[in-house]
Chains A and B, each alone.
Chain A
C-alpha cells in the first residue's frame, strides 16, 4: 500500500438493483496530480466519486484515500477531502456569503474567522458583488465558483470535481480550469470527472476512461493516444488529378489505410504505432520524399496526434464489439 497514492481502489463495485453501475474499478491516483475520469453519461463516474467521498457504501472491493478506508475510516477521510458535485452543493436559499460562513463554522472556524475567510474567498473568486445575493439567482458560472469556493474553505488534500464545467459557457469553463490549476499548484490532488476530452486533455496528467462501470483504458494522455496509433498525416495536393497516384504512393510507403477526404485535393493517412520501429514523423518524411520523387506536388501537410476524441471513440467502440464477442471468448477460455 503506497503512501504516495491519494486514491487507491481495488475491484470497486456498486450495484443498483440489476444494474452494476460500477463493476470492478481499480484506480491508483498519485498525490499532487489531476486525475481525469472520462466517460459518457451513465458510465458510472459519479457513482465512483460518491463512493470515494464516503457518500455511498461500496457493494464490493476496497477504496482507500491516503491509505484510509472509505467505509471503516470514513471520518478521517472526510477531514481531508472536499466534493463539488454535479449539481450545486450549496444552499440556494442562502446568499453566497452566508453559505461560506455556514460551512466555515461547520469546519470549526470561529465566527470572525469564518467571516474573514468567506470574504477572502468571494474576493478571489470574483464574487464580491454577488456576495449578498441568494445563490438561486446566480448564473451557472457563478454557482460553480461559489461551489468550488465552498470546497476549499479549508484547503483539502483531495478535491473531487464531478463534471465541473458541464453546461458552462466557454468563458466560465476557462475560469473553472484556471481555478483547478491554481488549486493543484498548491499541492491538492484533484479527481476530475468529465465527459469532455478537451477538459481531460487540458487539465489531467493521467486519465482513466470508464464505460459501463469498467475502466477500459488508463494511462497518461500520451499512452492513450499512442494506443490508437501514433498520428495522422493530412495532405493537400495542388492538383486533384494526382490524388489517385498519391494514394498509391502513401499506401506503399506507409502500409496504412488511406482516407480520401470530401475535398478532392485532400487525403489522410493514419500511421500505426505498432508494426514499425520508425517514429511517426520519420515515416511521414519518407512519404513526402517519395511523393516529391513521383512529381506529386503537396501544397499543405500536417502531422497530428490523434485527438482524445478519436481515442475515446476507438476505445468505446472496442468495448462494444468486445461485449458482442464475450460469449465466444468465454467459451474459448473454458
Chain B
C-alpha cells in the first residue's frame, strides 16, 4: 500500500490551517487573497485523517496581521487554525459563522443592483445560522457556505 510520508517543515510565524475538506485548499488560497501576498505557503492535499478520511492542510508563513481569517468561518467553519509565533503555537482559533461577509461571494441574481453597479461591495448577511444560509444584503438572493455539502 502506498505510504504517505510527505513532510513540510515548521514555520516561525503564521498560521497552520488544519481539517480543510479534501480538495478545497486551493479555494481557501484564493479567498484569503494569498496570491496577492508575498508570503510562503505550503498546501498539502489529501492527507490521511482519522476523523475525515482525507483532508487538506495549509501552512502560511507571514506576519499575523496580514491575513483576515474571519472569512474562513464562512468558507468552512470546521477548519482549525493554529497561530504560530516564535516557532510555537500561541493560540488556537475556533471558527464561527460570521454575521456578514464582504466581497467573498458574488450575487448570482441577474436582477440584483450589484449586477449593474460593479463598484458596490458584495455583502452577504447570515440569515439562518442552523441552515448556514447567507443572503445578499441588497436583493436577499440566497447563498450557502461553500463547504456545505
User: Are these two chains actual partners, yes or no?
Assistant: no
Chain B residues in contact with chain A, CB under 8 A? Answer: none
